[in-house]
Amino acid sequence: MNNTMNILAIDTATEACSVALITEGGSVFSRFEICPQQHSQRLLPMVDEVLAESGYTLGALDLLAYGRGPGSFTGVRIATGMIQGLALGTGHSVVGVSTLAAMAQQQVVASNSRFVASAIDARMGEVYFAVYEHTAKGLELVVEEQVCPPETAVELLTTLNVEFDAVGTGWAAYDALGALTNTDNITVLYPNAEYMLPLCTLAHSKGEATKAIDIEPVYLRDKVTWKKLPGRE
């Protein structure tokens, strides 16, 4: 796949930590690890590894991307803070990518699925949930991102009434969701930065890239706040 930009994406929103870089020629370099509680230690070394392997410097890139959430509050903050630091040092624009969409994108690549339902265990008896349709234009939301009880997710899927593939940790975490699918067949459990790359390319083409100072994580739970950079309200 050819690409017109050099893009670096990072994600630490779940138990997984991942970094991926795509060059303008379409070459992809990536790292993916399941490393709970170690994201802040592993993220920058992984960035250094993909840059070294690709032969590119950070300044030679065109765009930066990050998993904006939803996911672990601490994990989302780590990626947001890291991408702000990298972008402020280079002047690059930034694109935030939904972790739920990233998992759906990976499933589409693997199975050419039409509908994908993403559910991440949000703890406290809830899931981060969304449903996507794979169309000629790319992934399109058919059930908006939300945090909800698993029973609500079941109702939404029942109303939608389509065959779907399931991704994420929420299905095995709650019996109500697990009853809708064979959880043993779920192969995409965590977002992976590699599959954020096509999504951030699409977002950039729609004019959704922003300056580092303007980016925000997405928690979906209103009670959690993000402290912006100094000078930002």
Q: What tens-digit pLDDT sequence spans the chain (233 residues)?
A: 557 899 999 999 999 999 999 999 999 999 999 999 999 999 999 999 999 999 999 999 999 999 999 999 999 999 999 999 999 999 999 999 999 999 999 999 999 999 999 999 999 999 999 999 999 999 999 999 999 999 999 999 999 999 999 999 999 999 999 999 999 999 999 999 999 999 999 999 999 999 988 988 888 876 443 344 444 33
- Count of helices and strands (H, E) across the chain: 7, 9
C-alpha 80/C-alpha 137 separation (Å) is 28
Total domains present in the chain: 2
Question: What is the C-alpha R_g of the chain?
Answer: 17
Same domain, 75 and 122: no
DSSP 8-state secondary structure symbol assigned to residue 192? -
Helix axes 197-205, 99-111, angle to 10 degrees: 110
Domain hosting residue 104, numbered range: 100-185
Same domain, 24 and 93: yes
Whether this prediction's pTM lies above 0.75 is answered by yes
Instruction: Tell me which H or E stretch contains 44.
Output: helix 39-54
C-alpha 92/C-alpha 2 separation (Å) is 21
Same domain, 197 and 158: no
Same domain, 133 and 177: yes
Same domain, 95 and 197: yes
Same domain, 145 and 33: no
Q: For residue 210, tell me if it sits in a domain.
A: yes
pLDDT value at residue 216: 85
